[in-house]
Structure formats: C-alpha cells, structure tokens
Chain A
C-alpha cells in the first residue's frame, strides 16, 4: 500500500526547529533556571527522533552525517578536560573559573567553565540516546 503522510512530514520539519531551539534555550538557561545539559540533550534527541519517525532512518542519517559514538567520546573528553584542567594550574580537581566579559553584542556577560562541562553532558546524552535508538531501529 502506498502511503502518503505529507502532513506528518511537513509538521515534523517545522516542529524540529522549534524543539531544537527550545533545547538550546534550556541548555543555555540551565545555570539560573530549571534545565541544563541533561534535559536539553534529551530534547535535542527527541527532535531527531521526531524526524526519524516522520521520515526513515537512512534519510535522516544522510541529512545529519553524525557518528553518535564519536559524539559521546567528544562529550566525555570535554567534561573530563574541563574537570582536569585546574590540576595543571595547581588547583583541586573540578575547580571552576568564572568571570565577567564585555561581549560586543550581548553586553556584560558572565561566562563560567561549568558550561563547558554541561556541553559535555549535552553531547553525551544526545549521543547515547541516538545510539540506542539507531541500534534498535537498524535491527531487522
């Protein structure tokens, strides 16, 4: 039977960007409001899952071309590197640095190295979730 789900595919294409933007917002706002790397990563993964549900696995893989296993490795290295860098400076493991910077567009912004750690968490969560879902989906 030839199926035609143009409604689902168009909605998925539109909603994907909304979910992904919301995931980035939750990731960025995690320091002061509820959210953070874990929820943001799960939301980004669920956006990709929505695309996989509307289209098929090969199309989404051709569109993204990300090896999620390497993504997990990059996230772990980022988190571990952020944690280990203060040891080179003579400070205890997991010491975080923060400072206020005057960025050209955003004005005075406080940047914190905890965000790099959170970016590692984000990459690991997205990578692990997508690895699980792709491994289950490829099983015939």
Chain B
C-alpha cells in the first residue's frame, strides 16, 4: 500500500517535471525559462526524497541538500545574467 502511494507520488512528480520542461521549451521570455528550471530542480529534489524513502536508505539525503544548494546558486546566476548581462563584476561602480 505504502509503496503504491510512493510510486503514485513519483509519477505525479514526473508529470510536474514534464509540464515544467514544456514551459522551459516554449517559454516566451528568458525569466520564464529560469523559473521553469528552478521548478524542475525543486521537483527533482522531492523525487529523490521519494526514491530515498522507497529504497529505505539515508544515502541520498546529502544529494538532496547538494541539489538544493546547486539549484539555488544556478537560479541566482541565471537571474543575475538576465538582469545585468554580466555574471561576475570586477568592481561594482555604484
């Protein structure tokens, strides 16, 4: 029973990722794509948590945290690139 519920949740996460990927492909503007990528990251993280429960192991918990950190930094760099056009500034002039 529990396994069926977890598998159903996994399928729903896959559907959510597929919908986000659709938005990623057709997204009219660049911020749409950045947010779609962030949503894919969060859904992937939750899917890893479900898989970790399904396999009854604690080995993936570090991977969840690392994926969260990397998705955060990736979203910040995408948004900074979209807003400023430059990722790493030499010296801020304001």
Contact = CB atoms under 8 A, between A and B. Distances in A.
Interface in B68-91: 69-70, 72-73, 76-77, 80, 84, 87-91
B12 interface: no
A70 interface: no
Nearest to B94: A2
B91 A57 contact: yes
Contacts, number: 53
B59 A137 contact: no
Interface in B39-90: 59, 62-63, 65-66, 69-70, 72-73, 76-77, 80, 84, 87-90
Interface string A27-64: 00000011100010001001001101111111100000
* Main SS at interface, chain B: helix
B87 to A, nearest CB: 7
A87 interface: no
B89 to A, nearest CB: 4
Interface residues of B, number: 20
* Main SS at interface, chain A: helix
B33 to A, nearest CB: 19
A136 interface: yes
Given A33-B59, A46-B73, A56 B90 contact: yes
A111 interface: no
B88 A137 contact: yes
A53 B90 contact: no
A1 to B, nearest CB: 9
B88 A133 contact: yes
22 contacts: A2-B94, A3-B84, A15-B72, A22-B65, A34-B59, A35-B62, A43-B69, A49-B73, A50-B76, A53-B76, A54-B76, A55-B92, A56-B89, A56-B90, A57-B88, A57-B91, A58-B90, A133-B88, A136-B88, A137-B87, A137-B90, A138-B90
